[in-house]
Amino acid sequence: MLGLHGAGIARSFLAGAQAWLRGSCSRPLALARAVGAPRAGDGQPASRPGAPGRRLSLSAAAVVNSAPRPLQPYLRLMRLDKPIGTWLLYLPCTWSISLAAEPGCFPDWYLLSLFGTGAVLMRGAGCTINDMWDQDYDKKVTRTANRPIAAGDISTFQSFVFLGGQLTLALGVLLCLNYYSIALGAASLLLVITYPLMKRITYWPQLALGLTFNWGALLGWSAVQGSCDPSVCLPLYFSGVMWTLIYDTIYAHQDKRDDALLGLKSTALRFRENTKQWLSGFGVAMLGALSLAGVSCDQTAPYYAALVAVGAHLAHQIYTLDIHRPEDCWDKFTSNRTVGLLIFVGIVLGNLCKEKKTEDTKKNTDGRVAN
């Protein structure tokens, strides 16, 4: 009996000690949170000081969060923590650079890297202009209220100076191209500045974005060939515009309630419950234009196989889309990087097959001449 009583006292003492330890550990943690220390869910693992090694993350958001604190608002203003927009701007450039390559050759890696740098800078400049125009609206929308200008992390003057720096660097990239491409690239600046205003004017701001975001479909070809071939560049540009109407309409469904309250317009509000029918039409037009561009470039089987895969991807994307769930809209929107990469890979492989076809043709021709 005494043993049982003693064991009960020991258990009570042990439980009390554990409770005291938990409380003493939680007080410093609460204090640390109160003064702004990052929580485990804020991008850093929960670990004791001196614990062996942090987990490393190469995600864009983690890289931005690990940057010096004064730089972070500017990196977020460029949306470097959300690189999907940069991909969607860059991929049409890769299509045209690859289509313009010599038969049997890989695309020019120097131009691909140059356009990649330009895409980062111009997407950042576009986002800066957008946030400068929309700061009063962004403050009223939950999803955008923490953007640097709306949140007061960067002043309008600071963002204007930062915009000038981005455009200056982008001009340096543009000056690496031929004169035709320099003029063509400079012509896109008006679109870059004005497209953020379209949501106040028309229910088709996604069309204005498409005209802006796919300028690289013209510029990439001219950077390689010295001028634009309308039979290739115009269908390619048109296909990119249709693609933008697909993914940005999906994106706009995330904000349609807030947009309606604020008096802003979008294709999401224009199409409403008919969105899937419109997106299907845009998808058919996109694939048709890409096929026409391929015919004009004498593309081969891998290119058309890639278009079949793209068609299947778009069909699944549109069929399974739930326009009333913002999370699903975001997932479908980001999946469009796969669409762009499929087209790029199809163009490269199709172009490499041209070499084999050319060699076979030469052998057949030589054989007929010998006979």
Among 109, 105, 96, 95, smallest CA distance to 358 is for 105
pLDDT at res. 137: 87
What's the mean pLDDT in 265-279? 97
Residue 313 has pLDDT above 70, yes or no: yes
pLDDT tens by residue, 177-228:
999 999 999 999 899 889 989 999 999 999 999 999 999 999 999 999 999 9
Identify whether 328 is part of a domain.
yes
Tell me whether residue 359 is in a domain: no
- Of 129-138, 170-179, 333-342, the one with minimum mean pLDDT is 129-138
Domain membership flag for residue 272: yes
Q: Place 108 in a pLDDT band, splitting at 50, 70 and 90.
A: very high
In this predicted model, what pLDDT tens digit does every residue of 220-268 receive, in sequence order?
999 999 999 999 999 999 999 999 999 999 999 999 999 999 999 999 9
Confidence of residue 356 (pLDDT cuts 50, 70, 90): low
CA–CA separation, 181 and 187 (whole Å): 10
Under DSSP, is residue 136 helix (H, G, I), strand (E, B) or coil?
Answer: helix
Rounded CA gap, 25 and 18, in Å? Answer: 10
Statement: residue 52 has pLDDT above 60: no
**For residue 364, what pLDDT is reported?**
55
Query: Over 50: is that where the pLDDT of 51 sits?
Result: no
Residue numbers of the domain that contains 131: 68-353
Tell me the average pLDDT of the chain: 84
Q: Is residue 182 in some structural domain?
A: yes
- Is residue 23, in this structure, part of any structural domain at all? no
Could you tell me the CATH number of the domain that includes residue 181?
1.10.357.140
Give DSSP secondary structure letters for 141-204. STTTTTSTTTTTSS-HHHHHHHHHHHHHHHHHHHTTS-HHHHHHHHHTHHHHHHGGGGGGT-S-
pLDDT for 366 equals: 52
**pLDDT confidence tier of residue 143, bands split at 50, 70 and 90:** confident
Q: What is the pTM of this model?
A: 0.80
The pLDDT value given to residue 196: 87
8 or 283, higher pLDDT: 283
What is the percentage of the chain residues whose pLDDT exceeds 70? 80
How sure is the predictor about 29, in pLDDT bands with cuts at 50, 70 and 90? very low
pLDDT at 54: 44
Asked whether the predicted pLDDT for residue 42 surpasses 50, the reply is no
Within a domain: 48: no
User: How many folded domains does the chain comprise?
Assistant: 1
Among 183, 303, 173, residue whose Cα is nearest residue 232: 303
